A = this chain, B = another copy of it.
């Protein structure tokens, strides 16, 4: 590796990109952050942290923002860099196929400044084969360079909102190259700011590692949800049983209203859709069943809510039901694929007198989502979708 590769740009200063850029800066390396959000760039350059829920990030932004870490909305400002790390989102569309629109746009802009000998590392989670395939094609097309003119590698982000800095500092991180040289060079660059780094044999293996982790989580949450429903049917306390069932060889997860967010409910589709394309849908029977089972948990909880309504001496249409929380996870103001939001909508669809309260949201925030706000003390029945508990305020 030439020392030149230590001139680093991070493209995408979102929940994953900004903590990484801050950690790189904190390791003593000058880093350019590129993000289309101009206001976000200004904040960072003033030393202000745009993601306050991220522990430890504020200090790093305060120390390095506008100094070692300079944010900019213009790719041209990163022209002097030799390593480009891309963390821009890939979602799935309404048909559950990966949507590369934002990624393609970023690759197109990057192509405009890419030079011979540069290193490009992707961190976004996407279907295995994407780095060697779509990413490389787009980069060649937009830069006019040949494949062999630049180095290309993949290192999946493994952060978790709220814990990103400690994850980057302690958690094992993998990196793999499109070819052996790319892998080696990328490994040497990343070693300067990631302690617990592991080189794997290819970009595709690194891509698969990240998707497999997500699948493990989704399937095990679906299993926990099934076992929870079965325990309820048997009159057994799931949480007591789980506590004693789990040991070094058994890791039963927690039940929920389903799985939301940009990660776990999305990654299984990367494999399912690819297997369908290859006409091997049978290879994904469990992944698909888990996805469906998790998404359908809102119907189970709607039924449970109706069961609780039986205990209230009022006409069903007059029972004010409050869902206490509509974010996809407690304490994180994100709504992507939130099953709690979906549950509130489902109750309204059923014609029930359903309301929402969320400690992270104002009355107008709730209304902006097409839902009705309620002060919890005015509800007849409260359902906490994070604790999975019911409250009947009137009954004390």
Question: Taking the nearest CB of chain B, how far is it from the CB of A226, in angstroms?
Answer: 5
For A112, list chain B residues within 8 Å (CB): none
In the complex the two chains form, what is the Cα distance from A174 to B231 in whole Å?
Answer: 17
For A271, list chain B residues within 8 Å (CB): 230
Comparing A32-40, A207-215, A386-394, the segment that makes contact with chain B is A207-215
> How would you classify the secondary structure of chain A's contact residues: helix, strand, loop or mixed?
helix
Query: In chain B, what residue has the closest Cβ to A171?
Result: B247
In the complex the two chains form, what is the Cα distance from A269 to B172 in whole Å?
Answer: 38
Query: In chain B, what residue has the closest Cβ to A199?
Result: B244
Task: Establish whether residues A227 and B212, one from each chain, have CB atoms under 8 Å apart when the complex forms.
Answer: yes
In the complex the two chains form, what is the Cα distance from A305 to B280 in whole Å?
Answer: 18
Task: Establish whether residues B226 and A287, one from each chain, have CB atoms under 8 Å apart when the complex forms.
Answer: yes
For A289, list chain B residues within 8 Å (CB): 285-286, 289
Which of A216, A251, A292 counts the most chain B CB atoms within 10 A? A216
Question: Taking the nearest CB of chain B, how far is it from the CB of A350, in angstroms?
Answer: 19
Contact for A227 among B215, B222, B231, CB less than 8 A: B215
**For the complex, is A283 an interface residue (Cβ under 8 Å from B)?**
yes
State the interface size on chain A (CB cutoff 8 A).
57
Query: In chain B, what residue has the closest Cβ to A299?
Result: B282
Task: Establish whether residues A240 and B283, one from each chain, have CB atoms under 8 Å apart when the complex forms.
Answer: no
In the complex the two chains form, what is the Cα distance from A242 to B229 in whole Å?
Answer: 30
Question: Taking the nearest CB of chain B, how far is it from the CB of A155, in angstroms?
Answer: 12
Task: Establish whether residues A200 and B286, one from each chain, have CB atoms under 8 Å apart when the complex forms.
Answer: no
Contact for A129 among B201, B215, B234, CB less than 8 A: B234
Task: Establish whether residues A216 and B245, one from each chain, have CB atoms under 8 Å apart when the complex forms.
Answer: yes
In the complex the two chains form, what is the Cα distance from A271 to B233 in whole Å?
Answer: 11
For A204, list chain B residues within 8 Å (CB): 234-236
**For the complex, is A43 an interface residue (Cβ under 8 Å from B)?**
no
For A226, list chain B residues within 8 Å (CB): 283-287
